[in-house]
Amino acid sequence: MPILSMEDLALDEHLIREYLLQNPEFFNRYPELLLAMRLSHHERGAVSLVERRQEMLRTRVTQLEEEITSLMKIATENEKIFRFNRELSLKILKCEDLGQLRQTVSESLKQEFGFTHVRLITVHDIDSELAKIWHQRIQQGYYFGRLTQSECKRLFGSEVGSVALTKLSDENGQVIFGVASADPAHFHPDMDHLFFEQIRDLLDHMLPKF
C-alpha cells in the first residue's frame, strides 16, 4: 500500500467534507457512525458526534436567546427615546420666548437622561476659546466625546465628563447647542447623532421666532 503524504491527507479531508455537505443524508443511511465517531471535548474527553451536535445546538440556542434579549433591550430604549422626543417637540413648539425655550429643553433633558448641563451659546469671534471650539471641535457639524478643562469651563462653567456639541444653522448665527454628562464614556465619537439632530432641527425652527 502506498504511503499517503500530508498533502494527500489534506486533499482527502477536503473531499470528505465536500461529500458530506453535498450528501447530508449520509448519516441517515449509516446511523451507527454517529455513535462510533468520537470527538475530543475540553471537559468531557471524547464524545460522540451526536453529543457534540447537541452541545453545539444548545450553545447556538443560548446565543440566539442573548441576541434576542439584546435586540429587545435596544427596541425598548428606542421606544423610550421616541416617546420622549415627541413630548419634548410638543413642549418646544409651545414656547413663547427664548427663556422658556432654554428652560424647557434643559429641564427635560436633565430629568430624562441625568445630564448635568444643557447650553445654547452664541459664539463671538472675539472670544478665542469659543471660536476655537466652533472651528475645530465642531468642524464636521457634531462633536461627541471629551473636552479639555478650559473648554469645559468656557462652555459649561465647570469640568464635565463627556459632551455632545452641534452647530445650529447659519440663519441663527454662530450658535452652539451643547449637552454634558458626568459620565466620561456617555458621549463618544462612534455614537449615532439622530436624536441630537432632531432636537437641533427643532431649535433651528424656533429660534428665529423670538
Predicted local confidence at residue 75, as pLDDT: 87
Does pLDDT of 44 surpass 60? no
In terms of pLDDT, which residue wins out, 117 or 78?
117
What is the pLDDT confidence band of residue 104, given thresholds at 50, 70 and 90? Answer: very high
SS3 at position 125: coil
Q: What is the mean pLDDT of residues 122-148?
A: 89
Predicted local confidence at residue 95, as pLDDT: 94
Q: Determine the Cα–Cα distance for residues 126 and 18; give it in Å rounded to an integer.
A: 72
Does pLDDT of 162 surpass 90? yes
Does pLDDT of 178 surpass 90? yes
Q: Which cell numbers hold the place of 117?
A: 448641563
Predicted local confidence at residue 38, as pLDDT: 63
Q: Determine the Cα–Cα distance for residues 113 and 33; give it in Å rounded to an integer.
A: 59
Q: Give residue 58's region: left, alpha or beta (phi > 0; psi -120 to 50).
A: alpha
Does pLDDT of 39 surpass 70? no
Q: What is the mean pLDDT of the chain?
A: 85
| Length of the chain as a residue count | 210
CA distances from 40 to 11, 37, 57, 98, 118 (A): 22, 10, 17, 71, 59
How many other C-beta atoms are found inside a 10 Å radius of the C-beta of residue 112? 14
Burial 51-90 (b: 16+ CB within 10 A, else e): bbeeeeeeeeeeeeeeeeeeeeeeeeeeeeeeebbeebee
In terms of pLDDT, which residue wins out, 10 or 131?
131
Max CA-CA distance within the chain?
Answer: 95
What is the pLDDT confidence band of residue 23, given thresholds at 50, 70 and 90? Answer: confident
Does pLDDT of 109 surpass 90? yes
Q: Determine the Cα–Cα distance for residues 123 and 112; give it in Å rounded to an integer.
A: 28
